[in-house]
A and B are shown apart, each in its own frame.
Chain A
Amino acid sequence: MQWADRLRLRWSSLRHRSRVDAELGDELRFHLEQQITENLEAGLTPEEARYRALRSIGGIANLQEECRDMRRLNLMDSFMKDLIYAGRTLRKSPLFAVVAILSLGFAIGANAAVFSVINRLLLAPLRVADPDTLVAVERVLPAGGTESEFPVAAFEQFRDHNRTFSGIAAWASSRLSVSLNGEPAELVDVGFYSGDAFAVLGVEPILGRTFTSAEDHAGQDAVAVISDRYWRRRFAGSETVLNRKIETKGVVVTIIGVLPPGFTGLSEMTGYPDITLPFVWQSRFALNDNGVHANIAARLSKKATIEQAQAEANVIFSRVTQQLIDPATPEDRKRELLAQSVQIRPAGRGDHGQWERYKLRLAILMGAVAILLLIACANVANLTLARGAARQREFAIRYAIGAGRLHLIRQLLTESLLLGVSSGLVGLWMAGWARSGLAALLGTEGSVALDGRVLAFTTAVSIASVILFGLAPAVRSSRAGLAQGLTGRSITRVLSGARGLVVA
């Protein structure tokens, strides 16, 4: 098996090389023959013609080497050789390789897993159409902090008077006890979305339809769309779900559609709704003490910037606040209300609410796994140093037969690179099953995907750790007593130098 691998690697690099070399040979032979022909035409004897042509072309081997350099073939070639050599030395000490790869891999995996959660909460786009033009409207409180809920009257003013949004939707959420087929009631996350919310978000149902603005009026029959998750859990993903009835607080609600699996709501703090009703039903169902309220999501129109939208929203909001204030309100409370302003932030990426809620925990976790990675790097650096000490004789011999110091460093770094890449792969595999546990631990909703960003992060971490654990030992090993290496006395000295690095 080893031999087969080695042979295959050799063969592929050789084949690549020999094809280019053969072409080069043909090319130069053609040139030579043209030159000979010309010399013959000039009246030289065949021998003389050939001799002069050969002389004009100079050393063919030299020329080939130079062309190969130009193609960076030699660089590739020596890298491949280094890689093969590195693989061979690692196989010779399997215990070292396994320990190094596992400890580094575990640390890289932990980093990748935590990053994938951060990625999901901070960076990953919402599953809505064109996430980058979706914004959220928020109140900035004079005491600091923000609040996402508005009086419904404010939402209506925004909706009717803004010129910077191409669409605006109100939504709220709550929990309701819902019963199905007369079974015992179950507590379910419920959303209330204004009639055009799904059109504004660009979310299409995978089954049935979403409700219309006409159904978002008092006096209409109650209709609802359900989440893909709820559909699978309670209806086993059956298509007969349409027109089924659910009952909550004495109202019979007809199911008219199922939302796609990626859409987890606009979940500010609340998780994602399994049942979504038209916004008007909030006043009938909501448990909220401070009455009916609206969270606001909007689409920035193509011509408007966030700053323009924010300036306009502030004008509208201060007007509506003045109208809404009860004259009997105490003066200081009045001032506080009027001191509020509005801010508009991008809402199409990540999950702002959950991020706000988990950022401290995530920062602590990220710090912990970063330290874990540092410790792992230090340990592997230690192992590499110790190995370097044991390999002094090998380095000394290689140095003696003509390898430069830079080449030795490159060789050692290639070994580290091989370790790092293997560890990265192990890390990705570990992150794959760690992330679901991590998501559960944090209580975040939705799937945590390993996407391109996580992959890029893992690669960067692996390379950084290679530099971290590989460079110092490589430089040190190549320097420490190249001459004494052959006498076999330097080992203790190098080891004592390594003591400064012992961590765990």
Chain B
Amino acid sequence: MAKSTDLVQGTLDLLILKTISLEPKHGWAIAKRIQQVSKEVLQVQQGSLYPALHRLEQQAWIKSHWAETETGRKAKFYSLTKAGRTQMEKELASWDRLSAGINLVVREV
């Protein structure tokens, strides 16, 4: 039950949705991409990534299909649904509000 404490609760969903919003990706690529883009600051643990993917799929925000990778291996690709895109916009807006608020407090003085 090793849950990642590196990430603020709830932001993992947003990170996943944002990461696959441009093109479908498989689980490993999602983790790598988040790590890369954040310049190694954010490490997504598999123990939280896969349950999150399955939860998002259950909520119909993302959908999955099996396809071949560039190296010719079969992998499960996840892509954003229409409902998922709406959800992403919503979470983005609330993240902006939240982070702006936190910044205001911690950068004061």
Contact = CB atoms under 8 A, between A and B. Distances in A.
A31 B58 contact: no
B42 to A, nearest CB: 15
A303 interface: no
A72 interface: yes
Interface of B: 1-2, 26-28, 45-47, 50-52, 54-55, 57-58, 73-76
B50 A28 contact: yes
Interface string A21-36: 0011011101101110
Contacts of B52: 70
A65 to B, nearest CB: 9
B73 A30 contact: yes
A2 interface: no
A91 interface: no
Contacts of B28: 30-31, 34-35
Binding site of A, secondary structure by majority: helix, strand, loop or mixed? helix
Contacts of A63: 46-47, 50-51
Contacts of B47: 57-58, 62-63, 66
Contacts, number: 55
A66 B2 contact: no
A237 to B, nearest CB: 53
B76 A30 contact: yes
Interface in A36-75: 56-58, 62-63, 66-67, 69-72
A31 B27 contact: yes
25 contacts: A27-B26, A27-B75, A30-B26, A30-B27, A30-B28, A30-B75, A30-B76, A31-B46, A35-B28, A58-B2, A58-B45, A58-B46, A62-B47, A66-B1, A66-B47, A66-B50, A67-B50, A67-B51, A70-B51, A70-B54, A70-B55, A70-B58, A71-B54, A71-B57, A72-B58
Contacts of A34: 28
A69 B52 CA distance: 11
B89 to A, nearest CB: 23
Contacts of B73: 30, 33
Given A27-B50, A31-B27, A70-B52, 9 more contacts: A27-B26, A27-B27, A27-B76, A30-B73, A33-B73, A58-B45, A58-B46, A71-B57, A71-B58
A71 B46 CA distance: 17
Contacts of B27: 27, 30-31
* Of listed A31, A56, A71, residue having the most chain B CB within 10 A: A31
A245 B7 CA distance: 89
Contacts of B54: 67, 70-71
A63 B46 CA distance: 8
A143 B47 CA distance: 78
A235 B86 CA distance: 64
A325 to B, nearest CB: 67
Q: Which 7 A-B pairs have the closest CB atoms?
A: A70-B54, A70-B55, A34-B28, A66-B51, A67-B54, A58-B47, A57-B46
A69 B26 CA distance: 21
* Of listed B46, B47, B55, B74, residue having the most chain A CB within 10 A: B46
A23 B58 CA distance: 15
B1 A62 contact: yes
Contacts of A24: 50
